[in-house]
Amino acid sequence: MPGFALEPDQLEWCGELRVLAGARLRPLADKGEPGRVNRPLVEALGEHGLLARLFDSGALDLCLMRESLAYACTEAETALALQGLGAHPVAAYGSAAQRERWMPEVTAGRAVAAFALSEPDAGSDAAALSLNAVEHSGGWRLTGEKCWISNAPEADFYTVFARTAPDAGARGVTAFLVPADRPGLTGAALDMLSPHAIGSLAFDGVPVTAADVLGDVDRGFGVAMNTLNLFRPSVGAFAVGMAQAALDATVEHTARRAAFGGRLKDLQAVSHQVADMATRTEAARLLVYAAAAAYDRGAAGIARGSAMAKLLATETAQYVVDTAVQLHGARALQRGHLLEHLYREVRAPRIYEGASEVQRTIIAKELYR
């Protein structure tokens, strides 16, 4: 079945994406400024049709794109994923007017989207968010903060989750589409380990109306969770792509590196570690594909499968990249080395879109439901 064995045309497409990422997208990524939105790279994703496909295909296609791009250019993968995360609520829940205004710009790479859920005191506990939406003149005024928002403060619009019903927990949250030029909305860049833009947003009475609502009033938590259920397996795919790149580099290095009168691969302590790296990477890949295929079928247990896929894949990638660094030695920590880059990139996916501990909580709750 598709979750466990890809069709020949899918394998061919993945190969084409790897070539595209290495030959066409990597040079644009290298010209980008760390901590800033790379608009030429986003536009290139649009020109090559990847952003349009992002919204026209299912979860498995999304995973294949993210894994293949991550293998050769993590920056391109992240730019694609952030467009998807920020704009999926618009594509799935937006009004005809909202979709007509923003989706052509998003898929062309001319408008940069962002998903604004996390707050200084409400990261993993999304139901505890406190950005306040107070009714005003037939609409609302947003007051509060968002933090650790990818693409902020440079995005062109934000999918913002705010509290419209006090003391209602998850049932009192509404999703809004907020253009970046709304009065009262300001932002600041955060100096993070990640190479892409991450910032904070301040809302000082930002006006929104019914025309800005995504989905239904007080039902925004479902918009957020459904979006995350779609993207969590693909975070795992991103991790698998990085793990595979680290594994391939390690196989090549240990096969040619002379040590103790032979090659590194001839040392059982080394070859067994490489075997474990390969086995764990393949297991993570299969779970990611299975979760994505289940999502596309509308199968039961989507939340559990998505959480399992993200948990296993991101934890596996951390292990594989760390082991690859160990087997490469000091050269892997040189600035500009593939593994130095992956070592910095691989840490964040275990935190964002629900930390590993949150994924374990989701899985346990589903088991005991």
Question: Which residues are part of the catalytic machinery?
Answer: 353
Enter the tokens of residue 317. Answer: 């990638």
Report d(CA 247, CA 213) in Å as an integer. 45
Q: Name the strand (E) or helix (H) holding 46.
A: helix 39-47
Helix (H) or strand (E) holding 162: strand 157-163
Structure tokens at 71: 């293998």
Closest CA to 362 of 314, 299, 306: 306
Residues 348, 193 contacting (CB under 8 angstroms): yes
Q: For every residue of 124-165, which 3-state class applies, written as one string?
A: CCHHHCCCEEEEECCEEEEEEEEEEEECCCCCCEEEEEEECC
Distance in angstroms (rounded) separating the CA atoms of residues 69 and 50: 11
Q: What three-state secondary structure class fits 198?
A: strand
